[in-house]
Amino acid sequence: MQFARFYAIFIFMEMNDIASLCEARALRWTNHILERIFRRGIGTDDIKRVLVEGEIIEQYLSDYPFPSCLILGRTEAGKALHIVCGSNGAELWLITAYFPDSAEWSEDYRQRRQ
């Protein structure tokens, strides 16, 4: 009987790497994010803006298949926007995007309410 060994890869995601992947057009738009941004009225230009200008507010290092993070940024209209994305280092997988709810997030949308 053979046993497979799985090793978690812990890679800290950094905004400069995310921005570089975005500018290089190394984006993988999942069906999930495309459905969500269509339903929520979020434009792809705003997604790209947040990926280049936003800030990482949470890291999910043990996510599978790639580490992921939550990014906070602002749309062109100034509205707060959260994006969850993951990366294998060569591509950025866009998972979901949403306008954070003020009942669930702090006033600056950086921390979850308890």
Q: Each residue of 2-44: pLDDT tens digit?
A: 444 444 444 678 898 999 999 999 999 999 999 999 999 999 9
**What pLDDT digit, counting tens, does each position of 96-106 carry?**
999 999 999 99
Structure tokens at 10: 């812990």
**Domain ranges within the chain, ordered by starting residue:** 15-98
Q: Give the separation between CA 58 and CA 36, rounded to whole angstroms.
A: 20
Instruction: Report phi then psi at 38, rounded to 5.
Output: -65, -50
Please identify, in words, the CATH class of the domain defined by 15-98: alpha beta
